Amino acid sequence: MKLNELTAHELLDLLQDKKTTAEEVYHCVLKRIQEIDPKIKAYVRLNSNHPDFTSLSKSSRIPIPIGIKDNMCIKNTEITCCSRILKGFKPPYNATVIEKLKNVGAPFLGITNMDEFAFGSSTENSCYFPTHNPWDLDRVPGGSSGGSAAAVAAHEAIWALGSDTGGSIRQPAALCGIVGIKPTYGRVSRYGLIAFASSLDQIGTLTKDVTDAAILLNLIAGHDEYDSTSANLPVPDYTLSLIKDVKGFKIGLPKEYFIEGLDKEVNAAIMEAIGVLKKLGASFIEVSLPHTEYAVAAYYIIATVEASSNLARFDGVQYGLREQPQQVRKSPLIDMYEETRDTGFGNEAKRRIMLGTYSLSAGYYDAYYIRGQKVRTLIKNDFEEVFKTCDAVITPTSPTTAFKIGERIHDPLAMYLSDIYTISVNLSGVPAISIPCGFSKEGLPIGLQIIAKPFAEEMMFRITYTYEQSTNWHRRKIQL
């Protein structure tokens, strides 16, 4: 097997035994990118500054190359959130997660594609180009972290970072057949993550297996004084949770998630996975998350309101794109603002800005935003009640397998419903993981979602590791 097809922990073992070098690993992955990325289009920019492998080998603990989503600040590197409005923007500082990775010597491969400002579920809203699913090039990889997910699945990255606001790590992980984690809100610093919706955004991991996910989360988790929402709690060593044993665990099956609209093949794969865990000693009970039906509506009010506020800073004055109008209509300054934002933002960004601004406007603030926040509290309370009787909750990650490129781009509601099983996790702030649990008849991956209590990632890891080690879904490789 080629080096780029191995997991990070397998490569770390080879490096420790001096059976390969960090330079060999890096160039093997880079060669794969050069060979296959013209088909996949996972990356928008590759790192032009190759690491100094002489110093890297001496100082590095984890010299495993990584892909970074195009919304995390890397000093003096163009970061655009895949939006025209940030063309040419080079942050003057590193995001905290980038600093942490630099400190352990992880080389950056490049910047991965995404939906503009993370607005989407298919990576079709990028200002550059759509990314293709490695399992079927005519289909989407999911979104908004579709570039990161596709890169890992196609062995163009050993692992990658993404961000998850309503399912943007877990849904593409499910559609690309890899492991994706949305940690508890506050477990990983958001400092240097260009904001979509600040109360929902969370940086997380996309990896080839659960062990790699535990290693990578170890590297990026922890309190950060630069992020006021960062939790000041000790971070356990998640690799110690990789125990193949779920005997006595009680897992909830929310009846609201197994209803009409769930693809039959997805449902069958989830039921088979439940059967595996039952044989391994876990017990299952039906539970209720009664306010799930309001989650999509509440999410798209809260998320668009916060997006409208966060994107107000992109006006062409201090950084990024600046468009000068041909003639003065109102005033030179107002015309510049309007021209820059009209040219710089794509259709989905404009749609969300308008929705959010409307919900914040006089006369509608109470009717929409405040009511959305009240529903959010009810959803959070639902999870708290369920976790009084359960160790974890199992659901599908996505209601369907990967859909065709272009199939939903003109139907925003159908696109928004792609995240119906993931957004409640962000609204309530709890951690969740998606792992492969099967394939459709067309050979498309299916994802299983495990949800745990706040800061109970260890429980999540133990269940998923047990399932993963008892099946072979994560070992199936694409043929490209």
Contact 395, 134 (CB under 8 A): no
Instruction: Exactly one of 60, 148, 168, 428 is catalytic; name it.
Output: 168
Cα atoms found within 13 Å of the Cα of residue 7, Cβ hemisphere only:
19
Task: Give the DSSP letter of residue 87.
Answer: T
Contact 162, 183 (CB under 8 A): no
At residue 435, φ and ψ (nearest 5 deg) are -130, 155
Instruction: Exactly one of 41, 69, 208, 453 is catalytic; name it.
Output: 69
Angle in degrees, 0-180, between the axes of helices 22-40 and 8-16, rounded to the nearest 10 = 150
For 223-321, where are the E strands, in sequence order?
250-254, 283-287
* SS3 state at 419: helix
Known catalytic residue at 168: yes
Tell which phi-psi region holds residue 455, choosing left (phi > 0), alpha (psi between -120 and 50) or beta.
Answer: left
What is the token pair recorded at 135?
């399992």
Instruction: Exactly one of 144, 241, 308, 418 is catalytic; name it.
Output: 144
Q: What is the C-alpha separation between 88 and 70, in angstroms, rounded?
A: 13
Peptide bond into 144 cis (omega under 30): yes
Q: What is the C-alpha separation between 286 and 255, in angstroms, rounded?
A: 6
Known catalytic residue at 144: yes
* SS3 state at 393: strand
Burial of 75: CB neighbours in 10 Å, binned 0-12, 13-18, 19+: middle
Catalytic positions are 69, 144, 168
